[in-house]
């Protein structure tokens, strides 16, 4: 796993150092990492940790007006991993992402019309 991504994941989990997050984004945007790299970085997370991570990623990105990545957003791959590894009972995480993300391609990769 790239060192920059490892640091970015740690910052998202911690959720507190926006300045360092912005600096890491200048080095390489979060959506520039492959699906494989993101899945490797989060593969050891349990259901609650991965759900929290996805939400924190979206909130940190929004707070810092970071580019969403559009159709190559890591949220797509992370949500797919979440759905395949666990279950999104009642679509609660799906609904949260749709309501809180500014990226119409999240969480599934198909553009969603936001209300």
Are 104 and 111 in contact, with CB atoms under 8 Å apart?
A: yes
Residue with tokens 């993101």: 38
Kindly report, residue by residue over 36-69, the tens digit of the pLDDT. 999 999 999 999 999 999 999 999 999 888 888 8
- Determine the distance from the C-alpha atom of residue 112 to the mean position of all C-alpha atoms in its chain, rounded to a whole number: 17
Q: What is the pLDDT of residue 113?
A: 60
What residue spans define the domains of the chain? 3-100
Are 64 and 17 in contact, with CB atoms under 8 Å apart?
A: no
Question: Is the bond into 107 cis (omega within 30 degrees of 0)?
Answer: yes
pLDDT at 93 over 90: yes
Q: How many Å apart are CA 76 and CA 106, to the nearest integer?
A: 6
pLDDT over 70, % of the chain? 97
Q: Could you tell me the pLDDT band of residue 1, with boundaries at 50, 70 and 90?
A: confident
Q: What is the pLDDT of residue 110?
A: 84
pLDDT at 82 over 60: yes
Confirm whether pTM is higher than 0.85. Answer: yes
Cα-flanking dihedrals φ and ψ of residue 44, to 5°? -95, 0
């Amino acid at each position: 796993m790239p060192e920059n991504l490892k640091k970015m994941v740690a910052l998202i989990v911690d959720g507190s150092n926006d300045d360092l997050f912005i600096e890491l984004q200048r080095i390489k945007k979060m959506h520039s990492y492959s699906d494989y790299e993101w899945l490797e970085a989060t593969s050891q997370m349990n259901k609650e940790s991965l759900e929290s991570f996805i939400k924190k990623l979206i909130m940190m990105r929004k707070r810092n007006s970071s580019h969403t990545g559009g159709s190559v957003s890591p949220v797509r791959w992370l949500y797919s991993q979440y759905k395949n590894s666990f279950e999104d009972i009642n679509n609660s995480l799906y609904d949260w992402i749709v309501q809180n993300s500014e990226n119409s391609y999240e969480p599934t990769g198909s553009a969603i019309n936001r209300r």
